[in-house]
Chains A and B, each alone.
Chain A
Amino acid sequence: MITLLFLSSGLFLGWSLGANDAANIFGTAVGTRMVRFRTAAILGSIFVIIGAVVQGAGASHTLGELGKVSTLAAAFTVALAAALTVFWMTRLSLPVSTSQAIVGAIIGWNFYTNSPTDVGVLTKIVSTWVSGPILGGIFAVLLFMLLQLATRKAKLHLLYKDALVRVGLLLIGAFGAYSLGANNIANVMGVFTDAVHFPEIHIGWLVISGKQQLFFVGGVAIAIGIITYSKHVMETVGNTLMPLTPEAALVVVLAQAMVLFIFSSQSLSNAVASIGLPAIPLVPVSSSQVVIGAIIGIGLYKGGREIKLNILGSISLGWIATPIAAGILSFFMLFFVNNVFKQDVGSNLIENLIIKEISTHKPPASPVVDTMGLMDPLDLVKHVGTPKTVPAPTHHHTIYWVIGILAFMTLASLLFLWNRWMKKKKQWLSQIKQLKETHQQQLDAIQKKLTERNAIQEDMDKELKFRQNEMTTMAMNIIHKNEFLNDLKKEILTIKGKMKDPESRHNLNKLTLMVSQNISIDRDREKFQLHVDEQNTRFLQLLIEKFPAMTENEKRLATLLRLNLSSKEIASILNISPKSVEMNRYRLRKKLGVPGDVGLTEFIREL
């Protein structure tokens, strides 16, 4: 149980590796809907575990050479430091790799425990960080050329090609997952190999070593990462970071898988060494960086127009910043675990110093030195006396100087990055704020104008309605009055017909004449016409401008039509017959050139 608890940091690292790096293998295949996520996840999980168990030992051994993290607490702390570095740098959107983080964290442990860091091994590891992406690029170009040639030669139907690419994505994806498990399991479980010892399991002829069991656990953690979280990464980061065609994805994934396989295959390394060539170093490399190398390789092959070279700068920054950050974090966390939780994090610093002193000051034949490897360090301390008696070596100060300088450099670079990020953030925020303010101001101004316009429009509408009502009332008055006068005239004429008295008939004639005059020369009508003219000044001006040949009568008719009065009502106002109004309307229509499908009243009202 305690072992599992201490393994948790490595398992977390494995989970995050599965969640992030599965997108490098199946991101495009799933993103382009060539392969279902379920299929990809199942296949990826199985082959990651197989790769880790079968071929995980090589890269893990190299990490062990860099630093033998011998206790469980130390391994836990180192893995946790690497995991936190990856998590933190990912949050800051900085390029990060688990491989580089774990190497940095192990070096941090070396510094803390004063264990020597093998410069040769370190050089070997760092050289693969550079050569991995380059090799990925070379492989990608070669494979791409091969694919192009094969496509041209085969002349396959697009649909057969599509089917082949699907199968290829699955097979190469499986190989990619196998290589990822084989190479990157060292990042997840490498630090635990010297601290955790499971007993061997024998199943018939099959013997599963303790290391393989450990790698199986790590592989399962990666598989859980793939199943639980990689879909999200594939959908968000996978496609936006590198949108590839399925064919290009096939090439990129195969190139990546080949590089990871090369840097994790013991048999291949031995085969190369057997023919007299230098053995291939078995080192965990960053799958993301190999993928980037492969994409850049294809880009360069195609003419180099689509390449964003600043990504190379980001990778280089990752090579330096990640191990330094992980190393420092690991150092301080080890100090904390060692001094606060009183956990043994490996060889004690002072004990190491003593051992060194002994090995340098005592002759090699001394029994103390001869038994050193077999003795408990505490016995050793007792044997050689208390640390107080040991003079402080100058080497001790040098280490602290180196740590100090590295810490300063890391802090400076992190501060620089933090500052840059904050500046960018501030800039974005201020831009967004400014944009929002401008939009708000524009919105307010538009709103204000709209309100004003609406108010004016409302007033005008009211005024218009009032005027129209006034005019209509006047018109109706005239109509009623004229109707009344006409009725009166008819009545008078009826009475006149019945009258025999000449004087009365004369008087009635006078009365009829008066009524007739009142109908034709109506002051009300004149007043109304004046009123109408006054109210329609602009309309009349427009009429004159547009149709200069219009007569006064036509203008009058137009203004009355604008009031939406019927022909009968107009006839009453103008004291003419409705038929004449109709004729006048027809002529007006001709003069104004009103199209056949448009009503005259609508035409006039829209003027």
Chain B
Amino acid sequence: MSLLFKNAKQLVLQIDEFINTVEQGILVFKEGVLNYVNHDKDLFADKIATIDRLEATADKLQRQIDDEFYRHSLLPQNINDIESMLDRMDELIDISKDNLYQFALEIPFLPESIRDDYKRLTNTSVEAALCVIPAVRTYFREPVKVRDMLSKVYFYEKETDKISRSIKRKVFHEMHDLDLAQKIHLRYFALHIETISDKAEGLADVLSIMALKLNI
């Protein structure tokens, strides 16, 4: 019996660590983008290295959690839902890492006039992802409250869309001194940053249904 609780305790710790890692990854992404926008090259390189390490840790933890769940057939009724939720969380950190690498590799040119918009876009998109993290934690302890916590995620996702649209409008309609290639490049980077909030919204949808299933 004590083994049963020991396994549960170990898994709870691993899940908490996984969630923390993803959360840190998202925060590192945010800082990384801001460093890039502010031309802090050293700090940006440091963020790349950090997110690389965090992503690897998240992958390792996810595999360990998977193994534990299946080895001890824990939560057999909810295992599929939880696995899918953890997958989506892992996707968040994966995309954050990929996006940061896109900045490092493609080195997009960000004109001075649009930098603040990109900062705002990053903050809002990341905020959507950060709002879904507490909901994930709550799912494990108080599933009844999960749905109430998700409204912020949807709000920030919509805000991100608006900012992204305004950036695209600005780039294509107002910044005539840019080449088409540069405009398209800027649009792609707006899209990359926007993906974080889209993924957070997807996770929120899944979480909402999962919580509902637990409460029935």
Measured CB to CB, the residues of A under 8 A from B are 32-34, 152, 155-160, 162-163, 166-167, 245-246
Contact = CB atoms under 8 A, between A and B. Distances in A.
Nearest to B69: A159
B76 A159 contact: no
A158 B65 CA distance: 14
Say whether chain A's binding surface is mostly helix, strand, loop, or mixed: helix
B102 to A, nearest CB: 29
B90 to A, nearest CB: 19
Nearest to B214: A158
A407 to B, nearest CB: 49
B12 A160 contact: yes
Nearest to A158: B140
17 contacts: A32-B76, A32-B77, A33-B73, A152-B142, A155-B141, A155-B142, A157-B8, A157-B12, A157-B140, A158-B139, A158-B140, A158-B141, A159-B11, A159-B15, A160-B5, A163-B5, A166-B4
A158 B77 contact: no
A152 B215 CA distance: 11
Contacts of B7: 163
Interface in B4-18: 4-5, 7-9, 11-12, 15
Contacts of A155: 141-142
Contacts, number: 44
A348 to B, nearest CB: 59
A337 B12 CA distance: 66
B141 A157 contact: yes
A159 B73 contact: no
B107 interface: no
A159 B140 contact: yes
B2 to A, nearest CB: 10
B43 interface: no
B144 interface: yes
B105 interface: no
A162 B144 contact: no
B4 A34 contact: no
B69 to A, nearest CB: 9
B4 A163 contact: yes
Of the listed residues B4, B8, B76, the one surrounded by the most CB atoms of chain A closer than 10 A to its CB is: B8
B181 interface: no
A409 B161 CA distance: 75
Contacts of A159: 8, 11-12, 15, 74-75, 140
B74 A156 contact: no
Interface residues of B, number: 21
Contacts of B214: 158
A54 B12 CA distance: 42
Contact of A162 (B1, B15, B75, B139): B75
B144 A152 contact: yes
A171 to B, nearest CB: 10
B175 to A, nearest CB: 34
Contacts of B5: 160, 163
Nearest to A36: B73
Nearest to B7: A163
B78 interface: yes
Contacts of A166: 4
Contacts of B142: 152, 155
Of the listed residues A33, A34, A157, A246, the one surrounded by the most CB atoms of chain B closer than 10 A to its CB is: A157
A243 to B, nearest CB: 10
Contacts of A33: 73, 76
| 3 A-B pairs with least C-beta separation | A159-B8, A163-B8, A33-B76
B83 to A, nearest CB: 13
Given A155-B141, A167-B4, A162 B12 contact: no
A552 to B, nearest CB: 45
Given A157-B12, A167-B4, A162 B74 contact: yes
Nearest to A306: B216
Of the listed residues A33, A160, A162, the one surrounded by the most CB atoms of chain B closer than 10 A to its CB is: A162
Interface in B187-216: 214
B215 to A, nearest CB: 10
Contact of A160 (B1, B8, B77, B144): B8
Contacts of A160: 5, 8-9, 12
Nearest to B137: A157
A235 B60 CA distance: 36
Nearest to B78: A158
Of the listed residues B15, B73, B139, the one surrounded by the most CB atoms of chain A closer than 10 A to its CB is: B73
A159 B9 CA distance: 8
B140 A34 contact: no
A167 B11 CA distance: 18
A155 B144 CA distance: 10
Nearest to A32: B76
B106 to A, nearest CB: 28
Contacts of B4: 163, 166-167
Interface in B142-185: 142, 144
B144 A246 contact: no
A166 B8 CA distance: 12
Interface in B122-142: 139-142
Nearest to B143: A158
B76 A158 contact: no
Contacts of B15: 159
Contacts of B139: 158
Nearest to B75: A162
Nearest to B10: A159
Contacts of B73: 33-34
Given A159-B8, A159-B11, A160-B8, 12 more contacts: A34-B76, A152-B142, A152-B144, A158-B78, A158-B141, A159-B15, A160-B9, A162-B8, A162-B74, A163-B4, A163-B7, A245-B77
Contacts of B8: 157, 159-160, 162-163
Contact of B75 (A152, A156, A158, A167): A158
A34 B78 CA distance: 12
Nearest to A166: B4
A148 to B, nearest CB: 10
Contacts of B141: 155-158
Nearest to B4: A163
A453 B142 CA distance: 64
B108 to A, nearest CB: 31
B78 to A, nearest CB: 7
Contacts of A34: 73, 76
A167 B1 contact: yes
Contacts of B140: 157-159
A32 to B, nearest CB: 5
A162 B15 CA distance: 15
B97 to A, nearest CB: 28
Contacts of B11: 159
A156 B9 CA distance: 12
A163 B8 CA distance: 7
